[in-house]
Amino acid sequence: MTTIPDSMRVSVLHAPTDIRIEERPVPTPRPDEVLVQVASVGVCGSDVHYYEHGRIGDFVVNDPLILGHEPSGRIVAVGADVPSERIGQRVSLEPGVPCRHCSQCRRGAYNLCPDIVFFATPPVDGAFSEYVALAADFAYPVPDSMSDDAAALIEPLSVGVWANRKAGTAAGSRLLVTGAGPVGLLVMQVAKAMGAAEVVVSDVDPDRLALARQLGATAVLDPREASPAESGIEVDAFVDCSGAAPAVATGIPVVRGGGAVVLVGMGGEEMTLPISLVQTRELSLTGTFRYANTWPAAIALAANGDVDLDSLVTGHVDLEHAEDSLAPDGAAKHVKIVVRPNGLA
Amino acid sequence: MTTIPDSMRVSVLHAPTDIRIEERPVPTPRPDEVLVQVASVGVCGSDVHYYEHGRIGDFVVNDPLILGHEPSGRIVAVGADVPSERIGQRVSLEPGVPCRHCSQCRRGAYNLCPDIVFFATPPVDGAFSEYVALAADFAYPVPDSMSDDAAALIEPLSVGVWANRKAGTAAGSRLLVTGAGPVGLLVMQVAKAMGAAEVVVSDVDPDRLALARQLGATAVLDPREASPAESGIEVDAFVDCSGAAPAVATGIPVVRGGGAVVLVGMGGEEMTLPISLVQTRELSLTGTFRYANTWPAAIALAANGDVDLDSLVTGHVDLEHAEDSLAPDGAAKHVKIVVRPNGLA
Amino acid sequence: MTTIPDSMRVSVLHAPTDIRIEERPVPTPRPDEVLVQVASVGVCGSDVHYYEHGRIGDFVVNDPLILGHEPSGRIVAVGADVPSERIGQRVSLEPGVPCRHCSQCRRGAYNLCPDIVFFATPPVDGAFSEYVALAADFAYPVPDSMSDDAAALIEPLSVGVWANRKAGTAAGSRLLVTGAGPVGLLVMQVAKAMGAAEVVVSDVDPDRLALARQLGATAVLDPREASPAESGIEVDAFVDCSGAAPAVATGIPVVRGGGAVVLVGMGGEEMTLPISLVQTRELSLTGTFRYANTWPAAIALAANGDVDLDSLVTGHVDLEHAEDSLAPDGAAKHVKIVVRPNGLA
Amino acid sequence: MTTIPDSMRVSVLHAPTDIRIEERPVPTPRPDEVLVQVASVGVCGSDVHYYEHGRIGDFVVNDPLILGHEPSGRIVAVGADVPSERIGQRVSLEPGVPCRHCSQCRRGAYNLCPDIVFFATPPVDGAFSEYVALAADFAYPVPDSMSDDAAALIEPLSVGVWANRKAGTAAGSRLLVTGAGPVGLLVMQVAKAMGAAEVVVSDVDPDRLALARQLGATAVLDPREASPAESGIEVDAFVDCSGAAPAVATGIPVVRGGGAVVLVGMGGEEMTLPISLVQTRELSLTGTFRYANTWPAAIALAANGDVDLDSLVTGHVDLEHAEDSLAPDGAAKHVKIVVRPNGLA
């Protein structure tokens, strides 16, 4: 069994572009928690945004903050109420633990819990850290065949599962996905895994479109060459993963009557929409905010090979070089960078 | 049995504000149709709009058009495939007959049928006419206890039923309804009839707010005095019946996470929305376009006394004076005017 | 503020028909709990069954058990994590607190939690007791206008709300409810409050049928005179509240294609069903097990006067006479008896 | 263009085991119909049952009947309202055309239409015939890459799609499928194509279990060796494709709380079910009756290679030997036999 040290190294954001390696006490798991030695942590656009700007909307980094909310690892200790058999399990971590008492939690929409404690969201620390403690039911065992990186990327895959649930994706569905970053590519892969007939991916970056094709998109689209409408497509659901107003405005007109519009990418506070189309076609427009009850499905999709997570990882850094993964010029050339808090090994 | 004449009087819109009484042949019902002697026709805001402007969006009155799409009457003849027992039935007419063959029709969303034939929508004539022919399954018997006016107003009541279905109204629901015209008042009444706990109605007209209260609203709101947010309400669903952008923008922030936003009132082509709220709260935003499969429920609500339709009628005119009901200054002082093509009786 | 004594009187079932009044320590609320001085407790058929037989299916009264799971009362103390403002609130208690961690809890189906702690279900004590402690979020404030008895009967009313949710009751629905006991009468009342067009209640007891009529049933039926099919009805949903195999078997044939069958009444382990009807009509058959997320809606329905709870109460007893409410001959002549642990007052 | 003859050969069932080849006039398509030269017709268990017994339940072969309801072919003529461009299309035929006017049709549940005209269901003739006429919207184009046999087997594949819709199959679902005949194998394949994590197939025939494995079942089960419960599985949905009461009774106990039970296989009129399990776990039990709105999805699944139809075909016969495909001893050794009314080609 692993010997657990008293202190650990963490990567702390003090101010925009000011990241420091520090020493912190290793947390003691509460009765319903597990202590996890972190293996891999995916770097997300929101981590990059906090690093650059020190805030995302109303969430402001006023105090030093540990980033990272896509972690995997191994359970090394358990709280009093958790079976000790869990020690040693390789796990993927769902990084937000809700209050479990409010009406949103009780109706199953725990992602909307106003008191959720979510990694790397001020003032809650994240996982760029050698160890983290988390509620035991939010640490999910993964099969041996799944890599640590893939176990970490169950988090963005969950975003893809959730978006497809909102989109009503089913066997035979036709989708438009705008934005071929990690989330868009995962939305597309999940749609295919759910039996979608057509998944058209739109982006302005030819490399990302090539990757989309390679991972299963049935068609790709550069909106500078032809808008979705000009491409002649009609879809049952449109999932925006770009957050760009023009992408949303040009995507909506190709959704069939009664279809779905799901806004995953975050843009500004307001957006101007072709609302009479939404009305006369009775489109259902919604957004996604994290996810709920997605981990088991996401793990199954990755374990079965229905979704390819490892191909999305284009770089690794250790904790000391986490900052490299956050600097925009470094991040831009990657699909997904993974931080390894306990070493690259 | 009624003797059916060869010709009938109709009220025809030739150009904006140019309405003429003309003589037309009485239609012969096709095999699957009934011929109805029209009793009452509610006047809708869209009729007023066509009268004033000669168009609504892409629908343009290029050729002479008979207005009126909220009719009731009595079956006086039937097509070859319709049982003759139906002759004599008092009926409420659902004024749009779909193609029955397209994918929208076949999945039950016939209101989204691209080939629907809908009364008083260019180039299809409406019901300001002594007689109309319609598919037999779109002419619904009403009980003797229901007035001709109420049977006509099953149409706007259906809009209210449909809006509440989209809103997910259920026992205990809390709603905000903006706009206390006939549709807003009916959305409110239906919500109450479905067991809603709270229905707050917002309007700037104190008379309409008073009527809202009288018909069952649990609270009313003048947005010039306090916005919904300032009023401290939180709702499960927000139904806009005003089409006004400020009403929509100030209504959305009081919807709880996971709640519904239903846009019934038509405004312009585009609308600027607080989209990050829609996303972070995962609100479901949609519109309504007419209705589908609502007549039986609407008739039951009116017949049971759960909804009061007769109180909405504030004036009657005969066919010769239909124009009075369409002139905006006349229309403005009314909640709902009813045209009686066969005389005021 | 109420002075809380150290000990309290409780009514304890030791063995079938062996009920004794005993003295127990008043419980100390845990951090997330409230302590409630019990006002009214409805007596349920399951209480009667435990009293007579000492078991219900696999649930066996091996150790002394306090019965009663339909309680109302007043908060007299709170745990460390509960705002002290709650002291003094009159509350209705939802009598089952789930684990909040399992997959059923997390998806919102907490009534299916295998570790739920439910009042008066061995080995968990119930509310025939002067005081009870319960999770604060399962104690719901009620308005002053609601009686203590009505606040207690929110529990069976919740059964009625849940059954109607399972039945898909909506505006215009037609239902058959078999069994006009308290639950059947409440299922009927909730259906009416949700806008049902027709609710036919079936029972063999003419007094109960008369009460059903008085409380709003649109028709009543004595199955010994005419089966549902012989009565010529067709319904969208059939809710059995009798648990009697013949009621179920004769109810199913009157459900329209695609309709719902909801089995609320518990009968034996097995039941023979007309399964080819279920198949060829694609009926959805399910049962109800308690309820989830029903209290707010139920309180609203009762507070708005949509459902009449007080009329169901036909007798009161104090704690010392709780046994009178459990003896079958006493219970049979009542619709609903209420126990008042702190005195009849 | 094909020259259409005046008469055609058909295979007619006159009485149990009495099949004769006859000459009939080629039908003339009505205005909304197409005329199809039949290429392949799958033989279904119901065809075999009519051949042996002359009836299925209330459907009795009183007059000579043409069997076969799983046809594909090529459009050779069109009715007046159908675009002539459709001539030449290779099509899969959905073999039941509903009335389009009743409440079931109008709500999208056209499979429950009481007036549906369905191939090979007395008194409606089927497709063991050189030509058939059918409503144009029920003849779906298939891609060139799809074989005639696969185009025919879109019909049983639709049964599989429909069953999975009823089962609520989604990414990550776990299913038990009892009965590994063509329908069971297709239910399994569709579940896998929709992202199911686990699909356990149960049958007593080792060859069918081997085929199930080959086509993607994650596990197989011989119930004579171990019941589902003894196998230690838990599933989200259980789909019975056997119609056998013991299969249903032993399958239900492994369904998790809130899960689905879908009865596809037809057994007797009545069945004894473990009803208290259905109740206390709130299982949703339903059956399937044909399908609605499944063809586009089914064609997409087959065209994408998500489902393998050609591997199910184990034999072909021409029209003269159709009887060989219906004799039980011939049928038993096959998974799926295909009749080729226009020759084996």
pLDDT at C93: 98
Report residue A325: phi and psi, to 5°.
Answer: -80, -15
Task: Tell if the CB–CB gap between A108 and C103 is shorter than 8 Å.
Answer: no
| Helix, strand, or coil (residue A76) | strand
Task: Tell if the CB–CB gap between D266 and C279 is shorter than 8 Å.
Answer: yes
Q: Which residues belong to CATH 3.40.50.720 in chain A?
A: 162-287
Q: Is the pLDDT of residue B21 over 60?
A: yes
CA dihedral A303, A309, A310, A313 (to 10 degrees): -160
Give the model confidence (pLDDT) of C107-120 as tens digits: 999 999 999 999 99
Q: Is the pLDDT of residue D294 over 60?
A: yes
SS (HEC) of D256-302: EEEEEEEECCCCCCCEEECHHHHHHCCCEEEECCCCCCCHHHHHHHH
Q: How far is A196 from chain D (nearest CA, A)?
A: 8
Taking alpha carbons only, the member of C208, C142, C169 closest to residue C288 is C169
Give me D249's structure tokens. 């009774």
Verdict on whether the full-model pTM lies above 0.80 = yes
Q: Do the strands D139-141 and B336-340 form a parallel or antiparallel pair, or are they unpaired? A: unpaired
Looking at the partner chain, which of D170, D197, D297 has a beta carbon nearest the beta carbon of A172?
Answer: D297
Q: Is the pLDDT of residue B202 over 80?
A: yes
Calculate helix-pair angle for A182-193, A154-167, nearest 10 degrees.
60
> Counting one residue from B and one from C, how many pairs have CB atoms under 8 Å apart?
68
Task: Tell if the CB–CB gap between B172 and C300 is shorter than 8 Å.
Answer: yes
DSSP string covering A118-159: ETTBTTB--SSBSEEEEEGGGEEE--TTS-HHHHHTHHHHHH
CA dihedral C188, C189, C195, C200 (to 10 degrees): 30
**311-340 in chain A: CB under 8 A from chain B:** none
Q: Residue C164: its chain B contacts at CB < 8 A?
A: 171
Q: How far is C55 from chain B (nearest CA, A)?
A: 35
| Helix, strand, or coil (residue B174) | strand
Number of residues in chain C: 345
Looking at the partner chain, which of C274, C283, C288 has a beta carbon nearest the beta carbon of D282?
Answer: C288
Q: Is the pLDDT of residue B234 over 80?
A: yes
Give the model confidence (pLDDT) of D157-187 as tens digits: 999 999 999 999 999 999 999 999 999 999 9
Q: How far is C166 from chain A (nearest CA, A)?
A: 15
Strands (E), B139-294: 139-141, 174-178, 198-202, 219-221, 235-240, 255-263, 271-273, 284-287
Looking at the partner chain, which of B107, B136, B137 has a beta carbon nearest the beta carbon of D108?
Answer: B107
For range B255-284, the mean pLDDT: 97
Q: How far is A73 from chain B (nearest CA, A)?
A: 29
Q: Please check whether residue B219 touches A, CB under 8 A.
A: no
- A267 burial via Cβ count (<10 Å: 0-12, 13-18, 19+): middle
For range D55-72, the mean pLDDT: 94
CATH H superfamily, domain D162-287: NAD(P)-binding Rossmann-like Domain (3.40.50.720)
Bridge partners of B8, per DSSP, are B24
Chain mean pLDDT for chain D: 96
Q: Please check whether residue D246 touches C, CB under 8 A.
A: no
pLDDT at D334: 87
CATH H superfamily, domain D7-153+309-340: Medium-chain alcohol dehydrogenases, catalytic domain (3.90.180.10)
Q: Which residues belong to CATH 3.90.180.10 in chain B?
A: 7-153+309-340
Q: Please check whether residue B219 touches C, CB under 8 A.
A: no
B146, B173, B304, B307: best mutation site toward chain C, by most C Cβ within 10 Å? B304
C32, C86, C100: best mutation site toward chain A, by most A Cβ within 10 Å? C100
Chain mean pLDDT for chain C: 96
pLDDT at B10: 98
pLDDT at A333: 77
pLDDT at D331: 64
How far, in Å, CA of D204 to CA of D189, rounded?
Answer: 19
Calculate helix-pair angle for A206-215, A182-193, nearest 10 degrees.
20
**164-183 in chain B: CB under 8 A from chain A:** 166
Under 8 Å CB-to-CB from D134, ≥6 apart: which residues? D33, D34, D36, D93, D95, D97
pLDDT at A340: 98
D140, D186, D194: best mutation site toward chain A, by most A Cβ within 10 Å? D194
Q: Please check whether residue C138 touches A, CB under 8 A.
A: no
Taking alpha carbons only, the member of C180, C220, C224, C225 closest to residue C198 is C220
Report residue C101: phi and psi, to 5°.
Answer: -120, -20
For range D264-280, the mean pLDDT: 96
How far, in Å, CA of A80 to CA of D6, rounded?
Answer: 84
Task: Tell if the CB–CB gap between C257 and D283 is shorter than 8 Å.
Answer: no
How far, in Å, CA of A196 to CA of D194, rounded?
Answer: 8
pLDDT at B118: 98
Q: Which band of pLDDT confidence, cut at 50, 70 and 90, is reported for residue D259?
A: very high
0.90 surpassed by complex ipTM: yes
For range B61-67, the mean pLDDT: 96
Task: Tell if the CB–CB gap between D112 and C257 is shorter than 8 Å.
Answer: yes
Q: Please check whether residue B266 touches A, CB under 8 A.
A: yes
Low-confidence ranges of chain A (pLDDT < 50): none
pLDDT at C57: 85
A322-326, B161-165, B179-183: the lowest-pLDDT one: A322-326
pLDDT at C331: 64
- Which residue blocks in chain D are alpha helix, DSSP H? 45-53, 103-106, 148-152, 154-167, 182-193, 206-215, 245-251, 275-280, 295-303, 322-326, 328-332
CB A325 within 8 A of CB A331: yes
Give me A117's structure tokens. 């404690």
Q: Is the pLDDT of residue C2 over 70?
A: no
Give the model confidence (pLDDT) of B303-345 as tens digits: 999 999 999 999 999 999 999 889 877 666 789 999 999 998 7
CB D263 within 8 A of CB D287: yes
**Above pLDDT 90, what percent of chain B?**
94
> Counting one residue from C and one from D, how many pairs have CB atoms under 8 Å apart?
116
Q: Please check whether residue C292 touches A, CB under 8 A.
A: yes
pLDDT at A1: 53
How far, in Å, CA of B109 to CA of C122, rounded?
Answer: 50
B105, B161, B162: best mutation site toward chain D, by most D Cβ within 10 Å? B105
